[in-house]
Chain A
């Protein structure tokens, strides 16, 4: 008798489970953004959330869970129900966290299922308006000559701006003083106010200030110039061998049913074809990834190769969050 009850209960559980996966989504979906509202990652998420919600027939709620370079949010999602209602948007920081944080409470490659890449946002190296150097070459020379007093701002440990800074310092073989902030907003405020010398952040956040003439722009960190800032040279053109872009992707907790992941991937691909998304991305100086990159396979490949790439750079810089 007991066995029968147990079997029935199991069957019922299985039934309700598969039914819920098939009907997915029956309730609003939360996308957790690991950085503060209004920041670059947040903006990208909000832009794709609306068309994704339309494609899925459910509203999408954005939740900003900040702290420790996005690991707080990732840790929360790793522990969330694997039912597809909690989705994580994360960027390049997903691949650097295992090296940066020794006691990370999750494993990016094992505790998550990938949904697909979203965009690869170029970064711009910018300085305060009255900062002496005018070109990237001058900036490099100046930083090397004045390494005792030049300050570099970033948006917190593990943030894209932190990574770009490390890469820059490695490329010019000079360690500078790094000033962390709680997010890009306050860092940019202090750069505009002339409290710090320079920073490197995603175009999503710097384009407005560059166009408004509040900051000096030195270079864009990708292979090609930006349509939104055509006069800005690339790092390679300016003679510095470094390239970095901030790739963003969507994750769900490991163990999420495959058909749920497929529905999310399909919704993501639909959103990335949305003309409004393409236009807005362009204004921010970025583009949606190609459809074949917005897949779990391409995303997983990028995550693991980037994890390998950043490990030696971070270790060489001697950076550790704990």
Chain B
């Protein structure tokens, strides 16, 4: 009954007119920065942080949190419509979402993303309210050895991201890993693959990779000739989901929500894995496996749900321990401190109205987002009817402005040019960009955790097997390899490829 009393307190706090207003402002801003390629929630929260100084602490946090999860909604819009993911998680949505848009089904894809996100957000918020303290205790059992094994599992499972040749998918993952290696080494400070460019010491900007390899490369391909141009689909079929669509998205949304909720709690990079993991899972479980990569609605429903669930549960380490899971959370810590609240386990007991108010506001925010986004679908889809000679330059210009705005670093724009050319060559070679992006995101994490685990174990690799959680994850990874090598399954795979060809 405590929970009900607490939630009551939370809704009392969150349902004041002022807090609802700022919650709305937050999710609206979040949606907008999510839609604009390049500008992400981190930059937006950083810029708006000073404005919130004059607010009540709870109002400030409600708005900043709204920007964060609002951006997760918005990010899928450009991924689906123009193949331009703004965050690593929406890169997964782009795989099937963009294919759906090409088939004139942008409306159902966007609706699926909104509904999946809303459901996942609501469930994850409830989980946050009910089980935050026990969940964080599990998360704390994850040391570097566990993260390493988790990422290995993620990478192995991610071969499912590709819908063509497995060799090519592996090559793309490795290329991504190599791109991720660029920059200064955390442990020794040595610059790697920087070729004397000081700007590369920080590594290649993720947004440059996403915009170049996905968005601009796709535009280049579209410009080849009139006949192959696919972005502009004049026949936009119904905007809403059919009965069949609803039937197909229910299970992926449920599974995505569960997977995302769990991975989101892990502060060392779990939320990054959520969308990728959900996509792999759905592809494995689906009866329409061959359809994945060609516009399977499950490939949008699962990852979008996982992504939004993870966005909500990644607040758990922040609220229960005062420890940030990623840059946006770190900024939230700054917001706590600036408002005179020492972030830590005491927030729950010292500031119950703030803690529960924030949680209640997340549910309200998710509701506002779905109300905001469903009517917008019609407008977004209309965007596709803009003549390409206006649309393409606008996309490129916005992407460059957005990318430049993050670090005010012209180098990030040059990187887009180079990566767009690489991306175009890859399209010509029938290599897909999604595994590349996965390698790029997870590669540095993999290396960091591998080396740290080895330092802590003093160079003893047995640490990965002696620690039960790590051993379990590695066992699942080994099982996945064995299964994929079994002749019968292999045969089935080949059949699938034949069908695709």
Residues of A within 8 A of B (CB): 30, 36-39, 42-43, 46-47, 49-50, 53, 59-69, 72, 75-76, 79, 100-101, 105, 148-149, 151, 156-158, 177-182, 185-186, 188-190, 192-196, 207-209, 211-214, 279-280, 283-284, 321-322
Contact = CB atoms under 8 A, between A and B. Distances in A.
Contacts of A209: 321-322, 344
A189 B323 contact: yes
B302 interface: no
14 contacts: A38-B324, A38-B332, A42-B334, A43-B334, A46-B337, A50-B53, A63-B408, A75-B198, A157-B188, A177-B458, A180-B187, A186-B268, A211-B342, A279-B340
Interface in B165-194: 183-184, 186-191
Nearest to A180: B187
B456 A151 contact: yes
Interface of B is mostly: helix
A38 B331 contact: yes
Contacts of A214: 321, 344-345
B267 A189 contact: yes
B144 interface: yes
A122 to B, nearest CB: 16
Interface stretch (B44-52, B85-93, B126-134, B380-388): B44-52
A92 to B, nearest CB: 17
Contacts of A192: 140, 321, 323
Most buried by B among A43, A50, A180, A193: A193
Nearest to A156: B186
B120 interface: no
A180 B324 CA distance: 17
Tell which of A49, A158, A185, A321 has the most Cβ of chain B within 10 Å.
A185
Contacts of B331: 37-38
Contact of A284 (B47, B191, B337, B458): B337
Name which of B53, B188, B317, B330 has the most chain A CB atoms within 10 A of its CB: B330
Contacts of B398: none
A234 B333 CA distance: 27
B372 to A, nearest CB: 28
A179 B145 CA distance: 13
The 6 closest A-B pairs by CB, nearest first: A38-B330, A321-B189, A208-B344, A193-B140, A195-B143, A212-B345
Contacts of A148: 458
Interface string B450-462: 0010011010000
B270 interface: no
Contacts of A30: 408
B144 A207 contact: no
A39 B332 CA distance: 11
* Chief secondary structure at chain A's binding surface: mixed
Contacts of B456: 151, 177, 179, 195-196
B238 interface: no
B441 to A, nearest CB: 15
Interface string B396-411: 0000000000011000
B18 interface: no
B334 A72 contact: no
Interface in B331-353: 331-334, 337-338, 340, 342-346
A280 B337 contact: yes
Given A53-B50, A61-B47, A179-B452, 15 more contacts: A43-B334, A62-B49, A63-B46, A66-B202, A69-B189, A72-B184, A149-B458, A151-B456, A177-B456, A177-B458, A185-B324, A193-B143, A208-B343, A211-B346, A214-B321
Interface string B29-43: 000000000000010
A185 B198 contact: no
A279 B338 CA distance: 10
Contacts of A188: 323
A283 to B, nearest CB: 6
Nearest to B50: A50
A239 B16 CA distance: 54
A212 B346 contact: yes
Nearest to B451: A180
Nearest to A103: B191
Interface residues on B, range: 35 or more
Given A43-B334, A190-B143, A37 B344 contact: no
Given A49-B50, A65-B202, A192-B321, A37 B330 contact: yes
Contacts of A72: 184, 198, 201-202
A182 B327 CA distance: 12
A99 to B, nearest CB: 13
Contacts of A100: 189
A321 B324 CA distance: 27
A287 to B, nearest CB: 16
B125 to A, nearest CB: 23
B307 to A, nearest CB: 22
Nearest to A100: B189
A50 B53 CA distance: 9
Given A37-B327, A195-B143, A46 B49 contact: yes
A37 B268 contact: no
Contact of A213 (B144, B324, B345): B345
B329 interface: yes
B459 to A, nearest CB: 10
Contacts of A101: 189
A83 B202 CA distance: 25
Interface in B7-23: none
Nearest to A61: B47
A207 B188 contact: no
A148 B456 CA distance: 11
Contacts of A67: 183-184, 201-202
Contacts of B407: 63, 65
Contacts of A76: 198
Contacts of A149: 458
Given A72-B202, A105-B198, A209-B322, A193 B340 contact: no
B57 to A, nearest CB: 13
A60 B334 contact: no
Contacts of B42: 37
Given A37-B327, A188-B323, A189-B267, A177 B455 contact: yes
A64 to B, nearest CB: 8
B142 interface: yes
Most buried by B among A63, A194, A211, A212: A212
Nearest to A182: B186
A105 B189 CA distance: 13
A284 B267 CA distance: 24
Contact of A185 (B139, B323, B344): B323
A283 B407 CA distance: 31
B448 interface: yes
B141 interface: yes
A207 B188 CA distance: 29
Contacts of B338: 43, 46-47, 280
B417 to A, nearest CB: 22
Contacts of B139: 193
Contacts of B334: 37-38, 42-43, 46
B134 to A, nearest CB: 14
Contacts of A186: 267-268
B26 to A, nearest CB: 18
Contact of B342 (A50, A157, A208): A208
A156 B184 CA distance: 12
A1 B458 CA distance: 74
